[in-house]
Structure 1
Amino acid sequence: MLKHLPIVLCIVFVVVAKPPYQNQIPNGDKVPHPCNPELIWNAVGHNDANIGGSQNLNPFGKDFQEASHTWTQDLCHKDSDNDGFTNGQELGDPQCTWRVGTVPVWTPTGHPGIYESIYPCSRVYIG
């Protein structure tokens, strides 16, 4: 049992590390996976749906980092993935009125860091 403790602690750390950032953006825990909307993209600012890391940031992640990990008016109005929809529209805050600790009025409609229509779904696991 003790020989597995370091692995368990690492897993707990990884799981605990994501929610603080998810809570800093509207619907951060509900962003749909572009290849399968029934799945959630847990690491919204990263290229991998479930794994973070500073070398793995998508365009939204870079913009979020630039905004000091804060949901700002500028970040909300920006179109990080250049798909024609603002980050606010995609995250369910089209009017950019959401504040940390409140419940977003709308559900997310897309992913702010991934241009869905050109995302290579055939190359990812969508199970």
Structure 2
Amino acid sequence: MLRKISLFMLFTIVWSYQKFQMLIPNGDAVPNPCAGQSGIWGGVGHNVAAGGGLNNQFGLDFNSSGKVWTPEFCQKDSDQDGKSNGFELGDADCKWTPGGTPEGIATGHPGVCEPMNSSKCQQVNKNITCSPSNYT
């Protein structure tokens, strides 16, 4: 019984991330910004690649937008790196709608200030965890 409950909870968590990824352009293809790590950052609105735990500023802004990709949310620079959320997610013109194809590819992470080792990003990224993740 415990095994069934554990599997159900794992499925629910993974499905939830996928549901939220579909609400932002290229949400399932955000590159991992951590040095020496490849793959995607599955929990885009979270401080760790696999998701869960505390939200980063992009996640907080996503919640504040009602979990809707609005022009205001798209134009916002959640991670304070000088690039809008839309630009980093491949929707620089903020025209994407759920179910559509973004005009470009995700070139950055809207919740992690990049480059991560720059002096302007150190404070913004203080809660970001770059430990290896099995989420690819």
TM-score (norm 2): 0.82
Amino acid at match of 2:91: D
Pair 1:125-2:123 in alignment? no
Q: Deviations over 1:82-120 (max 9, x none)?
A: 001000000000011101110112100100010022358
Q: What is the CA–CA distance in structure 1 between the aligned matches of 2:2 and 2:86, rounded to whole Å?
A: 46
Number of aligned positions between the proteins: 124
* Shift >4 Å, 4+ stretches: 119-123
Pick aligned residue for 1:90 from 60, 79, 88: 88
After alignment, is 59-68 or 7-16 more displaced?
7-16
2:45·2:51 contact (CA, 8 Å) conserved in 1?
Answer: no
Pair 1:13-2:20 in alignment? no
Q: What is the CA–CA distance in structure 2 between the aligned matches of 1:94 and 1:77, rounded to whole Å?
A: 8
Contiguous gaps of at least 5 residues in structure 2: 117-124
Q: Deviations over 1:40-87 (max 9, x none)?
A: 10110111111224xx11010111110000000001111000001000
Alpha-carbon shift at residue 15 of structure 1 (Å): 1.0
Aligned CA distance change for structure 1 residues 76 and 3 (closer, same or farther; 3 Å): closer
Q: What is the CA–CA distance in structure 2 between the aligned matches of 1:89 and 1:37, rounded to whole Å?
A: 22
Q: State percent identity of aligned pairs.
A: 40
Q: Secondary structure at the match of 1:18?
A: helix
Q: What is the CA–CA distance in structure 1 between the aligned matches of 2:131 and 2:71, rounded to whole Å?
A: 32
Matched residue, 2:121:
none
Alpha-carbon shift at residue 38 of structure 1 (Å): 3.0
Amino acid at match of 1:6: I
The CA RMSD over aligned residues, in Å, is: 2.1
Select the structure that is richer in strand: 1
Aligned CA distance change for structure 1 residues 72 and 38 (closer, same or farther; 3 Å): same
TM-score (norm 1): 0.88
After alignment, is 66-75 or 10-19 more displaced?
10-19
